[in-house]
Structure 1
Amino acid sequence: MHQDLNNRANFQCQFMFVLPQQNRSKEMKRFEGKVAIVTASTQGIGFSIAERLGLEGASVIVSSRKQNNVNEALKKLKARGIEVLGVVCHVSNAEQRKNLIDKTIEKYGKIDVIVSNAAVSVAAASILETKESVLDKLWEINVKASILLLKDAAPHLQKGSSVVFISSIAAYQPQVPITMYGVTKTALLGLTKALAAEMAPDTRVNCVAPGVVPTHFAKFITKHDAARKAIEGKTLLNRLGTTEDMAAVTAFLASDDAAYITGEILIVAGGINSRL
């Protein structure tokens, strides 16, 4: 009898320790069997998002304007055991956008997640002095291309699918020298709200607004120690964000863990004040 109780106690203890590990394993495969497109995903935040989704089980489609960048990203992701397809795509090019969707459907037959990350930033001292061609470029890539990509992808989105736009903390307080970049990122906040209503209930649409992350894209800000320290000082956590920080939040919003969240903007900026 005493031995039986000991055996039972040992089994219960083992069960208690094993079960959480099983739960964690399941949690880390939230995208098993799902197909995810991430634009501008061969470097920086986009690459980390693609990597995170892939490590959690997704078949990931990465894209960039340059074939060399695509090839390098494919090499890195495949080395981590991720199922990945690489496609050259400049999001402002209608033919290349269509090809991105066509190649995805040709290989995987569906789309479950779209992360719209592609953007361009042009420095300018004044909005009113910004050339019309620059205004067109900012609007074309940062806003219009996101809409047109979804238009192409919409027929292939599965019920329960998820769209995540990558905006910016700059959306809340556009400032020189990237004021118009900030304004286009503000537009994404409104686009998130509008499309969440339009695409419900089958597709959720949310948005991540990153703080300053020291990537190649933000190099002109973060390469100067004084500027970097000034930004860090504005955060409550006393540090800049990382690409992994942004990937973790994006994966959450894209996953079923966020199944009751749509039309929302999640600011990931270390506590920097953010008000429209």
Structure 2
Amino acid sequence: MKNILLIGGSYGIGQSIVEELKETHKLFVASRTSENLQQNITHIPFDVTVDELDLSTLPEKLDGFVYCPGSINLKPFKMMSLETMKDDMHLNFFSLVNVIKGIISKMNDKSSIVFFSTIAVGTGMPYHTSVAASKGAIEGFAKSLAAEYAPKIRVNVVAPSLVDTPLAKRLLNNDKKREAMNQRHPLNRIGNAEDIAQTAIFLLSDKSSWMSGQIIGVDGGLSTLNVH
């Protein structure tokens, strides 16, 4: 039974990962809330933007790590304040780095780390300057980290398009918006949390043991197909 630590796991993609793995893995979820977590999951109260992770609550060794927190601030660049961009960089990147600094020595040989990026890093999209910048930092960091810790630790990144989670509710808050977003994707629908969770679970598993330093698009074909 593997020990897996998730930062954020009480809703959205993180919750879907927890639901899939809760019977077969020992899960540790560090998050602000525990409302959707069952009793057999170890919850660590944790706000990634302000707290230091209490390492004493974790096992001696970890087999997997997933960083789930993220933001979606979509505005024209001229309306995007520097403070907003700093906040996005802090949540998406610097807080991730801070946690990795703490737990990297706990990672087992042949362990796996999974981060999340966005399709907007590799495919330029208007109004995405802040999120693309902070997630782009994650992609570069992940590749360098994967090289530095090979072959002991694998590091991979999942880069989704729009996913139906609480984080995206403002973009999907009526039928017209939802249908427009569906039609943007070659597979004619937006993603759901399970789509992304299954890829993360694959990357945590031994089935992906020959993969590291990869940015994996799970995006309904949007980044590579032009069918409209």
Q: Is 2:60 aligned against 1:60?
A: no
Is this contact kept in 2: 1:42–1:63, CA < 8 A? no
Is this contact kept in 1: 2:30–2:45, CA < 8 A? yes
2:159 partner SS: strand
* Whole-angstrom CA distance in 1 between matches of 2:109 and 2:153: 6
What residue number does 1:205 align with?
A: 155
* Whole-angstrom CA distance in 1 between matches of 2:223 and 2:155: 24
Q: Which amino acid aligns with 2:87?
A: K
Instruction: Select the residue among 36, 39, 47 that pairs with 2:7.
Output: 39
What residue number does 1:50 align with?
A: 18
Instruction: Select the residue among 25, 36, 45 that pairs with 1:73.
Output: 36
Return the structure number with greater relative CO, CA threshold 8 A, min gap 6.
2
Query: 1:42 offset after TM fit, Å?
Result: 0.7
Unaligned ranges ≥5, structure 2: none
1:73 partner SS: coil
Give the TM-score, by structure 2 length.
0.91
Q: Is 2:105 aligned against 1:155?
A: yes
What residue number does 1:97 align with?
A: 52
What residue number does 2:117 align with?
A: 167
* Deviation digits for residues 35-90 of structure 1 (CA, Å, limit 9, x no counterpart): 111112111111111222223x111112322xxx31x122xx34xxxx31011111
* Whole-angstrom CA distance in 2 between matches of 1:46 and 1:97: 20
Q: How does 1:81-230 map to 2 (within 5 A)?
A: 83-93=40-50, 96-99=51-54, 101-104=55-58, 108-126=59-77, 128-230=78-180
Largest Rg, 1 or 2: 1
* Structure with the bigger percentage of strand: 2
Aligned length, in residue pairs: 225
Query: 1:116 offset after TM fit, Å?
Result: 1.0
What residue number does 1:244 align with?
A: 194
Query: 1:115 offset after TM fit, Å?
Result: 0.4
RMSD: 1.9
**Aligned structure 1 segments of 4 or more residues deviating by more than 4 angstroms:** none
Is this contact kept in 2: 1:173–1:274, CA < 8 A? no
Report the identity percentage.
29
Is this contact kept in 1: 2:123–2:223, CA < 8 A? no
